[in-house]
Structure 1
Amino acid sequence: MSVRPILLWPDPRLSQRCEPVGADEDVSALIGDMLETMYDAPGRGLAAPQVGVMKRVFVMDCGWKDGDMTPIICINPEIVAASEDVIAGEEGCLSIPNAPADVTRPARITLRWRGLDGAIVDRKLDGFEAKCAQHEYDHLEGRVIFDHLSAEDRDRIEGAYLGRTT
Structure 2
Amino acid sequence: MIFPIVAYGDPVLRKVARPIEKDEFNLPELVENMYQTMYDSSGIGLAAPQIGQSIRLFVVDGTPLNEDEEEEDKDPSLEGFKKVFINPQVLEETGDEWAFEEGCLSIPGIRADVYRPEFIKIKYRDIDWNEHVDTFEGMAARIIQHEYDHLEGKLFTDYLPMLKRQMLKKRLTDITKGNVKVDYKMRFPK
| TM-score, normalised by the number of residues in structure 2 | 0.80
**Partner secondary structure for residue 107 of structure 1:** strand
Closer, same or farther: CA 158–29 of 1 in aligned 2, 3 Å: farther
- Taking only aligned residues, the RMSD between alpha carbons, in angstroms, comes to 1.8
CA distance in structure 2 between the aligned counterparts of 1:146 and 1:61, rounded to whole angstroms = 22
- When you count helix as a share of all residues, which structure comes out higher? 2
Q: Secondary structure of the residue that 1:116 maps to in structure 2? A: coil
Q: Determine which structure has greater relative contact order: mean sequence separation of CA pairs < 8 Å that are 6+ residues apart, divided by chain length.
A: 2
Tell me, yes or no, if the aligned pair for 2:8 and 2:172 is still in contact at 8 Å: no
Q: How far did 1:145 drift?
A: 0.9
Aligned length: 163
User: 102, 118, 136: which one pairs with 1:125?
Assistant: 136
CA contact (8 A) 2:81 2:140 kept: no
Cα distance change on mapping 1:69 and 1:129 into 2, 3 Å: closer
Q: Tell me the residue number matched to 2:155.
A: 144
Identical-pair percentage: 37
> What is the CA-CA distance between 1:10 and the residue it aligns to?
1.1
- Runs of 4+ that moved beyond 4 A: 67-70
Alignment-mate amino acid for residue 23 of structure 2? D
Q: Which one-letter code corresponds to 2:35 in the other structure?
A: L
What is the TM-score of this pair, normalised by structure 1? 0.91
Could you say what secondary structure the match of 1:139 adopts? helix
